Amino acid sequence: MARKQHRVRKTLLVVGEGDSEEAFLKHLRELYCSGGAGVTVTVRNAHGKGPENVIDHTVKQSRIASHDKRVALLDTDIPWTDKLKKDARSAKIEMLGSKPCLEGLLLSILGKRPPAQSADCKKALEQLLGINLTERQSYASHFSKAVLDSARQTITELDQLLKFFEGR
């Protein structure tokens, strides 16, 4: 009798800066990794406190469980120091930036030009959508797979992030 062969999926650890990033990343996992597609994704929340904390949290999470790839989704409103980049490289963590924050990236996905300041991005997105960004299901109606696939053609950071979820 032939043994059933199990396909081993690649694993991905993705750490977001806060609650909204965690919800958005879980939404992406549902769209791009359900039903055996893509990779097995673990999403974690660094609970803010700047880019150093996000990288530090990612390092700690990667010590708990081994993953094939590690990604940190960071805001770019606080500059990334050379030391931070070096620490991420040595821990094999890919750093992806949301310009200037997650809300700015979301505005870009929707075809809107994001303001330069994070607070203005948050305000603009709230006025545009009026949804709770900390709940995964809030993203479903505005950020469908079709919308994301279209936006990835022009938004490099989104394309890179989605490639990680697809295992590429």
Asked whether residue 134 is domain-assigned, the answer is yes
Task: Check whether 81 has a pLDDT greater than 70.
Answer: yes
Domain count, the chain: 1
Asked whether residue 4 is domain-assigned, the answer is no
The CA-CA-CA angle for residues 71, 58, 22, to 5°, reads 70
Asked whether residue 105 is domain-assigned, the answer is yes
Q: Residue 59 sits in a domain of what CATH number?
A: 3.40.50
Asked whether residue 168 is domain-assigned, the answer is no
Asked whether residue 1 is domain-assigned, the answer is no
Q: What local confidence, expressed as pLDDT, does residue 48 receive?
A: 87
Asked whether residue 3 is domain-assigned, the answer is no
Task: Check whether 67 has a pLDDT greater than 70.
Answer: yes
CB 158 within 8 A of CB 152: yes
Asked whether residue 2 is domain-assigned, the answer is no
Token pair 């904390």 is found at 53
User: Once rounded to an integer, what is the mean pLDDT over residues 64-84?
Assistant: 93
pLDDT one-digit tens code per residue, 117-136: 999 999 999 999 999 999 99
Residue 74 pLDDT level (bands cut at 50, 70, 90): very high
Residue range(s) defining the domain that contains residue 143? 11-163
CB 55 within 8 A of CB 97: no
